[in-house]
Chains A and B, each alone.
Chain A
Amino acid sequence: MGKVKTLTLIKKGAEADLYLAEWHNKKVMIKKRLAKKYRPSKLDRQIRVYRTVHEPQLMHEAKKAGVPTPTIYMVDLKKAMIIMEFIDGKQIKQLLSEVSANKREKLCAKIGQLVGKLHSHGIVHGDLTTSNMILNSEKKIFFVDFGLGEKTKELEARGVDLHLMKRALQSTHFSFADKCFKAVIKGYSGIVGDDVAKNVLDKVKEIERRGRYVAERKGESK
């Protein structure tokens, strides 16, 4: 696999350790999914292998759909490890609280467009948070962390995707979450069209309302 140099742990994610390293004279990111001892080892292995296989595939698909993602250099299933391009830039999470309101809405509209492109190409991301988006020096927004993503065109899955985006905004950027989400939707509609956007938004509302207390709650009780 060639030599990996200067390994520095830069983030202990909940799921994986992320290392910044040098590999064939390139700056790379190594993402290694760690064993989780709380779950049975067979289940744990299945989950990690599945995600390690799917993440690079979806990143590749996303790139084809016009959504910037890191280039994948190598996948090692045994170690549940991915070596990919390192994106030198700033997390959108940080940026949103630093820039002007105007700039913020522009960024969010751009994010909405990218999500629209993903959905139009039958991809859902599965973990749309502002820490999984990085703005590089060329002003391109990269999406990372596709481990929970899926290839699907189902309305439910798209609704869940936008619901996650909305909640991520609300739980980390509550003071301007509503404006940001509106801007995201504007960008999204521009790509998927108003009709599709409306359907997806209705789904988001349904998901939010989905009472844990509806009649079906305890099964067949009528």
Chain B
Amino acid sequence: MVKKSYCLGIESTADDFSVGISTFDGKILANVISAYIPEKGGIHPREAARHHAEVADKVLEEAIKKAKIKLKEISAIAFSQGPGLGPCLRTGATVARALAAYLGVPLVGVNHCVAHIEIGKLKTGAIDPLTLYVSGGNTIVSAFDSGRYRVFGETLDIAVGNCLDVFAREAGLSQKRGLPFGAIVEKLAAKGKKLIPLPYTVKGMDISLSGLLTAAVNLLKQGTYKLEDLCYSLQETAFSMITEVTERALAHTEKKEVLLTGGVAANKRLQSMIKYIAKEHGAKFCVVPSEFAVDNGAMIAWTGVLAYQHGIVTPIEESFVKLRWRLEEAAVPWVK
């Protein structure tokens, strides 16, 4: 029997610390995620980083145990090199460097956004999709063209997950483990009926959400509307904008698959909208299973495999984190 090769991936761009393990032929053996949930308010990068440092050993140990392998069997260490929050990224990179040095195996720096797309392709069987990546930190419409994942559209200000989170917090809601703000808004929205006019801003294939958020928060404070109706209107408006630009990019690129990923991809209403336009354009609709749609180590491990197999290794002296590493700047020689 041929000896199996494994890659261990570390993800720590924002509020989650996660370790995943993938075989070189794309079997995910472990994907352990530890979320940092702030007591109140938003994420403080330094506090999140402290959380990551605290849980790192435990998460690592659990991943190895789940994968039923020995640490020494790992052939490469991949880590999320950017984009993300500095202190959080650095914590992950430090763990990765230490591990690689200890095991004497190569280090592979991975672009977080590329990883979201690659794990989505692996898990849904999509080959050349138009990807809509919607999370707390990103709102990006992208597709492969001439050597890179090109960005066709994105938010001009805040990400859609952030928009939902801030609104929920302003409304005095509180998130729980397993029930993020976005999911709470989704539940309330399902009970809303009245569509309240809110700013709808599309520019080319980009969108702007900060005006929408401000207007929704102002109406919330006025107290004239039911919270359910506000959640409904906020969701309908934001998701309609996102769907409009996704459809435009789909018409433009003529891709035959649409891949929906990121934490907000769990939203059933958004899923139904994107599914609708995919069908209209004769494209297959693929949604990434939640465990692999949120920030996770498995996506870093798998993308690490792809990169490593195409000769990409990251020497220690080049393993500094890249806070603003844009999707289209990352080389993806394995995509044809």
Contacts and interface: CB of A to CB of B under 8 A. Distances in A.
Decide whether A and B are members of one complex: yes
Contacts of B277: 38
B257 interface: no
A43 B237 contact: yes
Contact of A213 (B85, B150, B250): B85
A219 interface: yes
Nearest to A41: B195
Contact of A38 (B158, B169, B273): B273
Interface stretch (B52-60, B98-106, B200-208, B310-318): B200-208
A205 interface: no
B211 to A, nearest CB: 11
Interface in A37-90: 37-40, 42-43, 46-47
B324 interface: yes
Given A43-B240, A211-B324, A168 B204 contact: yes
Interface stretch (B16-24, B38-46, B295-303): B38-46
Given A14-B244, A218-B41, 15 more contacts: A15-B248, A38-B240, A38-B243, A46-B197, A126-B203, A126-B204, A127-B203, A160-B156, A171-B151, A171-B152, A174-B146, A213-B14, A217-B43, A217-B162, A220-B169
Nearest to B43: A218
A3 interface: no
Contacts of B332: none
Interface residues of B: mostly helix, strand, loop or mixed? mixed
Interface in B227-276: 236-237, 240, 243-244, 247-248, 250-252, 272-273, 276
Interface in B138-177: 138-139, 145-146, 150-152, 155-159, 162, 165-166, 169-170
Most buried by A among B136, B166, B197, B250: B166
A213 B324 contact: yes
A92 to B, nearest CB: 15
Contacts of B240: 36, 38-40, 43
B203 A164 contact: yes
Most buried by B among A47, A170, A218: A218
Contacts of A43: 195, 200, 236-237, 240
A13 interface: yes
Contacts of A40: 195, 236, 240
B145 A14 contact: no
A207 interface: yes
Interface string A200-222: 00000001011111010111111
A211 B83 contact: yes
Contacts of B151: 167, 171
Interface string A129-170: 100000000000000000010000000000011011001101
B42 A219 contact: yes
B84 interface: yes
B71 interface: no
B109 interface: no
24 contacts: A12-B251, A14-B247, A14-B250, A14-B251, A38-B277, A39-B236, A39-B240, A39-B244, A40-B236, A47-B200, A148-B203, A160-B156, A170-B328, A212-B138, A212-B139, A213-B83, A215-B45, A218-B136, A218-B162, A218-B165, A219-B42, A219-B170, A221-B38, A221-B42
A217 B137 contact: yes
6 smallest beta-carbon distances between A and B, as pairs = A218-B42, A221-B42, A39-B240, A14-B251, A219-B166, A164-B204
Contacts of A114: none
Interface of A: 12-15, 36-40, 42-43, 46-47, 126-129, 148, 160-161, 163-164, 167-168, 170-171, 174, 207, 209-213, 215, 217-222
Contacts of B206: 160, 163-164
Interface of B: 14, 38, 41-45, 83-85, 136-139, 145-146, 150-152, 155-159, 162, 165-166, 169-170, 195, 197, 200, 202-204, 206, 236-237, 240, 243-244, 247-248, 250-252, 272-273, 276-277, 323-324, 328
B155 A212 contact: yes
Given A210-B157, A213-B83, A221-B41, A160 B203 contact: yes
A14 B252 contact: yes
B204 A128 contact: yes
A84 B243 CA distance: 28
B165 A219 contact: yes
B42 A213 contact: no
B41 A37 contact: no
Nearest to A47: B200
Nearest to B137: A212
Nearest to B213: A219
Contact of A212 (B150, B159, B252): B159
Contacts of A219: 41-42, 162, 165-166, 169-170
Nearest to B140: A212
A218 B204 CA distance: 26
B181 to A, nearest CB: 10
A174 B152 CA distance: 13
